[in-house]
Amino acid sequence: MAGLETIDLPNKGFLSGIELRVWGVPGAGTGNPDVWLHDQLTRIELIVNGSQVVKQLDGRQLLADMLYKKTPHRQEACIPRR
């Protein structure tokens, strides 16, 4: 997983939440079939006015925040068939 994803949010009104859906599969031959997806998210930022960071998390912090707030989430193991 690499790269930057930018999402433009509305300029007016209130933002009550953001839902982030991420999907991935382990690379063939990596020897790590049980890599957790939240470990691969290195930085998630909410930026306003083009440069002001108002919230910054990594994948583990996001998962901890979701568990604390009892936010429903699903992470299924991807087990390759032999």
User: Strand runs (DSSP E) across 2-81, as ranges?
Assistant: 44-48, 52-57
Has residue 47 got a pLDDT over 50?
A: yes
Per-residue pLDDT, averaged over 45-53, amounts to 84
So what's the pLDDT on residue 82? 46
What pLDDT digit, counting tens, does each position of 1-43 carry? Answer: 456 778 877 777 877 777 777 776 666 666 665 667 777 788 8
Q: What are phi and psi of 61, to 5 degrees?
A: -65, -40
34: left (phi over 0), alpha (psi -120 to 50) or beta: alpha
Q: Where are the alpha helices (DSSP H) in 1-82?
A: 37-40, 59-68
